[in-house]
Amino acid sequence: EKFKPLILSTWEHGMAANDKAWEVLSETGDLVGAVEQGVKVTELDLENLSVGLQGLPDREGIATLDASIMKGDGSCGSVGFVRQIKHPISLARKVMEETPHVMLVGEGARRFAIEQGFPLEEEKLSPKSEELFQEWKKTSEYKPIINIENHDTIGMIALGADGKLAGSCTTSGLAYKMHGRVGDSPIIGAGLFVDDEVGAATATGLGESIIRICGSFLIVELMRQGRTPQEACEEAVRRLISKNKNIDDIQAGFLAINKEGAYGAYSVRQGFNYARHHADGKDLIDSKFKL
Instruction: Enumerate binding residues for ligand SD4 (CB under 6 A).
Output: 50, 151-153, 171, 173-174, 183-185, 204-207
Quick check: 75 and 82 in contact, CB under 8 A?
no
Q: What minimum distance in Å lies between the beta carbon of 129 and ligand SD4?
A: 13
CA distance 267 to 77: 26
In the bound complex, what is the minimum distance in angstroms from residue 95's beta carbon to ligand SD4?
Answer: 18
Q: Which residue, 173 or 199, is less far from ligand SD4 as judged by CB?
A: 173
- Of 153, 170, 171, 204, the active-site residue reads 153
CA dihedral angle for residue 69, residue 71, residue 76, residue 78, rounded to 10 degrees? 0
Closer residue to ligand SD4 (CB): 21 or 56? 56
Cα atoms found within 13 Å of the Cα of residue 73, Cβ hemisphere only: 5
Burial label, 100 (beta-carbon count in 10 A; 0-12, 13-18, 19+): exposed
Question: Residue 267's closest CA among 45, 10, 93, 38?
Answer: 10
Considering beta carbons, is residue 5 or 207 the nearer one to ligand SD4? 207
Contacts of 95 (CB under 8 A, 6+ apart): 77, 78, 79, 101, 102, 103, 104, 109, 112
Q: Is 202 a known active-site residue?
A: no
To the nearest whole angstrom, how small is the minimum distance from the Cβ of residue 123 to ligand SD4? 20
Q: How far is the CB of 234 from ligand SD4 (least distance, A)?
A: 19
Of 128 and 278, which CB lies nearer to ligand SD4 in the complex structure?
128
- Which residues are marked as active site? 153
